[in-house]
Each structure stands twice: as structure tokens, then as C-alpha cells.
Amino acid sequence: MRVWIAVAAAALAIPAVASAGTVFLLDGRGWGHGVGMSQWGAEGYARHGFDYKQILAHYYPETHIGIARPRDVRVLLVQSKPSVRIGSTAPFLVVDARGRKLHLPARAVVVDKRFMLHHVRLAQPLRFVAGAQPLEVDLAAYRGDVVVKAKPDGLMAVNVLPLDRYLRGVVPWEAPTGWHEQTYEAQAIAARSYTLATLKPSEDFDLYPDERSQMYGGVAAERTETNLAIGATAGQVLVWRDRIVAGYYFSSSGGRTSSVHDAWPRAHQVPYLVSVSDPYDYISPHHVWPTQVLSAAKVASVLGVSGIRDIQVLYNSSGRARAVRVLTAHGWRQFPGATVRTKFDLGSTDFDLHAMEIDDPGRALFGQRVHVTGYVRGLGRARLQQLTDAGWVTVRHVRISPTGRFDLSLRATRTTEFRLAYNGLAGDPVGLQVAPRVLVSADGARLHARVSPALPLRVERLTNRRWRAVASARGVFDRSLRPGSYRITVRGSSRYAGEISAPVAVHSA
């Protein structure tokens, strides 16, 4: 039997190790790094009547629209490959580093060691120049030229093209079909600004074709409505103090964007990349995530720790997770919020971790008052549920103390399980073993026994150092027996644990 003693200090104590009934509820919002313009939020603004200049002014405060001169950009297409397939449906041209030209018919060529040996007079790098039709690199079409250069680890292919031709392959892949034209125009200016602010003249290329820079799909990505937006905003960029700024953008904010320093602590804080409210992001499918229920064992496995007692989120000035503190048997460990985001595959660092714990109630006797205890952090009123023949039933709403602890007194009536539930979610169950209450006494030769509830019982007598059954009854036994040592045994079942009484001595009459 487990005895529960409630004292004031217990309410403040943290369990030595998270119990089987401990779960952590992860809630979160948004998708992406959170810096600059929220694309879903921008679409929300456009649907509420804001034009692209107002949208940009909100997400990039203290900037204004300026005009930049046209120029070419260089986008990495292929890296560290032994060969590159380049072709076109129209004749095209190869120009080497010395200006020599090689005319090629409308077909594909494989640029590799054999190609270089066959055209040994061509000095690298080689620039493939399109004719009447775009060039294709590994079957994907791109505007502009393609420069192929041999590197120690293989061939590199870089697409060189005018900035706005590049944007034609970016904006449609960064903004979904069917959005407002003002959103496309805001996206075009943000992407143009980001491109010009992040050029790398001293490197082999300026931009990656993926999320490391901007998503770039070449000709296959182009759409009429986004081409029109790029044309309508030709040359327009975001400017702060006569300098083109990196127009960072992302998918969804969850209601508030992040400052650049909060997202990337090594970045210098600037007034145009600060945290701002994002009231119309609610249209995003990622505005609020479905709550995840994480067991302590799951968290421990993902983070590579053991003996988890508690988890706390530390927030930055943008209201996002700067770090996550994990209390283990060896003390506190801290993980950067970005690391936790990656390990749990989360949409952003805008998340919260709440906790529900129900302590193991152990074992009790029938009719005994049992204290069901635990704690709830960061949630509203949870519910205590009990497993019955009809399924899980709410038996009590939990009242939380200022420390987060709760203590509910219930009468033990049968073996069962308890769990905590919040909204449509539930934690792991813990079991309560209920044993029958067995009262045994002897009055001379008479043995008295009562079992509550009235269950089948067996009377056993110690004979030759072994307990042997001598009688049975249900609920009550009251008979004279020959002298000896006796005990009462109640077999266990799904409803009640087994119980064996202490032995009593029966004497002669």
C-alpha cells in the first residue's frame, strides 16, 4: 500500500524524473526564419486593399523605393559533377576564355573530359551562348548564358542572365498561383533587392538556386502574372540610407515577424529588419500549428539526453524561442531554439512547450482516499480522466495552484487508469492498483473475515510449511476451525489486485 502525505514543500518540488504520465505539448506558429516580409501576411494585406508600397513599408520600416541599374546575375546550377549536359532546340554557341567561338547545332552535348580533349584548343571557362531558343542544362531550360568551369571536385555550371530574367524564374516559385497582383509586385521588389544586396563579385557565382538564396526554376517556373509584376516594378528596390537592402522574406509569421538579430544572433541589428506585427497572416495554413504531444522519452531521444525532468522555452525580444532549457538528472542543459527547430522538424522558432504531468498513484485499498497529484504548466484548466468500461470519462476539472501543482482526492473503488486531457489532447495514462480491504480476526476457535468489496475469498491453513486451502466464501467468513495458523487470500482480477492477509492464530475452544 502506498501512503500519500501532502506537505507544503511537495508543491514546489520538481519530480526526480518525468513520470510515465508526463507529456509536453508543443504549440507553434508560422513557417520560415521570420525576418522581413511574411509572404502570407503580404497577401493578407493585399486582400485588405493595401498596395505593394504600403506592404513593403510595413515589413521594411524606414526604407523607401529606389531605382537600380540593370545588371547580370550568376546562379549556380550544377556543382561537383563529372559531366554537364547542355543543349538547345536551336543552334547555339560556345565562347572560350580567349574569345574563340565554336558553333554547335540544335542538339545536346555532354561536357566532360572527352569533350575537353576533343576541343583541346578551347580555354576554360567555357561560355555557352543561346541562339533563338533558351539553353537547357540537364534538360531544364534557362534564360541567358551558361558558364562551365572545371573545379578540383568536378564541373560547375553557372547561369548568367539579366536580373529581371532571373526574377522571372524566382517570383512564381516563391509566391503561389492565384495571389493578388500587389503581392507579386511586393515580392518582385523584395527578391530584386535581396539579389542585388547579396551579390558576390569575388566568387564563382552569386546565388544558389534553392532556399540557400532564393528558389529558382528557370523557364519552367515562369508565369504571365508574375512576369507582369516584375515588369511593372522594373528596377525598383528597397533603399535605406542610399544603400540597397537585403529584402529578406519568408512564408508565414504566425502573427509577428522576427528581428534579424533575434533570428541570427551574429547579424547586426538594422532598423528595417525589426519585429513587426503581422495581423493578416491568419490566412496562412501555417499560421497556427496543430498541437503536438511529446512524451519525455521522445524529447530525450531527439535531443540525445536522458532523465528529463522538465523543459522550458526561453524567448527573445521577438517572442520566439531563443533557447530551450532541459532539466535532466545531471542539471540544466540548454539548446539553441534553431537547433530544436531542426531536430523536431518545426516550421519556425515561434513555438511554446507546455507540460502536463500526473504522478503515479501506485496502490491503494478499496474505499481509501487517494491523492492524484501532478502539475500543469502553460495551459488552461486540464481535465482528469479515468478509464471505465465505457472508455475515458472526465471525473474532475483540475484546479492548479500558483506553482502549477494540483492535488485531487478520489475514493479508490477499482483498479483503473488516470490521465490528463486538454482540449482534444491527452497525456499518457498512469495506473492505480486497488486491492480489496481484508479484515481478519480470531476469537478462540472461530475465524472472522470480511472482504470489501464482497469478492470470493479463500481460507488457507499453514500445514507442513505450506499454505493449503481449507475453505472458501464470498465477502464474509465466520466459522469455527481447528487450531492452527490461518490467512485469507483474494485472487487478483482486472478490477482488483490480489491481496493476502497477515496470518492469525486460531486456538481450541
Burial 431-447 (b: 16+ CB within 10 A, else e): bbbbbbbbebebeeeeb
- Strand 331-336 vs strand 243-244: parallel, antiparallel, or unpaired? unpaired
CA–CA gap between residue 199 and residue 205 (Å, rounded): 8
Over 80: is that where the pLDDT of 20 sits? no
The DSSP call for residue 464 is T
Distances (CA, A) of 212 to 207, 284, 504: 8, 23, 80
pLDDT average, residue stretch 337-355: 95
pLDDT at position 7 is 25
Over 60: is that where the pLDDT of 34 sits? yes
| Domains of the chain, CATH where assigned | 1-29+304-433 (2.60.40.10), 70-224 (no CATH), 436-506 (2.60.40)
Which residues share a beta bridge with 126?
148
Q: How many residues does the chain have?
A: 509
Torsion of CA 59, 63, 64, 65, to 10 degrees: -70
H or E element, residue 151: strand 145-151
Instruction: List the Cα angle 364/368/374 in 5-degree steps.
Output: 65
pLDDT at position 21 is 62
Residue type, 252: S
**Residue corresponding to grid cell 495571389:** 179
Burial 80-95 (b: 16+ CB within 10 A, else e): ebeebbbbbeeebebb
pLDDT band per the 50, 70, 90 thresholds, residue 297: confident
pLDDT tens digits for 306-325?
Answer: 888 889 999 999 999 999 99
pLDDT tens digits for 91-104?
Answer: 999 999 999 999 99
CA–CA gap between residue 441 and residue 163 (Å, rounded): 97
pLDDT at position 94 is 96
The x, y and z cell numbers of residue 158, run together, are 553557372
pLDDT tens digits for 405-430?
Answer: 999 999 999 999 999 998 888 888 89
The x, y and z cell numbers of residue 233, run together, are 516594378
**Residue corresponding to grid cell 507529456:** 23
Using omega within 30 degrees of 0 as the cis cutoff, is the peptide bond preceding 105 cis?
no
Q: Residue 62: name the closest of 249, 280, 276, 229 by CA.
A: 276
The whole-model pTM stands at 0.81
CA–CA gap between residue 237 and residue 254 (Å, rounded): 26
pLDDT at position 425 is 86
Instruction: Give the sheet arrangement for strand 84-87, strand by strand.
Output: 108-111, 84-87, 135-137, 140-142
* 260 touches 269 (CB < 8 A): yes
Over 50: is that where the pLDDT of 1 sits? no
CA–CA gap between residue 207 and residue 224 (Å, rounded): 24
pLDDT tens digits for 147-185?
Answer: 999 999 999 999 999 999 999 999 999 999 999 999 999
CA–CA gap between residue 447 and residue 159 (Å, rounded): 98
pLDDT at position 347 is 97
Q: Is 281 helix (H, G, I), strand (E, B) or coil?
A: helix
Q: Is 124 helix (H, G, I), strand (E, B) or coil?
A: coil
Over 50: is that where the pLDDT of 6 sits? no
* 122 touches 94 (CB < 8 A): yes
pLDDT at position 191 is 98
CA 437 to centroid of chain Cα atoms: 48
Using omega within 30 degrees of 0 as the cis cutoff, is the peptide bond preceding 201 cis?
no
Using omega within 30 degrees of 0 as the cis cutoff, is the peptide bond preceding 70 cis?
no
pLDDT tens digits for 434-462?
Answer: 999 999 999 999 999 999 999 999 999 99
Which residues share a beta bridge with 24?
294, 355
pLDDT average, residue stretch 496-506: 95
The x, y and z cell numbers of residue 432, run together, are 492505480
The x, y and z cell numbers of residue 230, run together, are 516584375
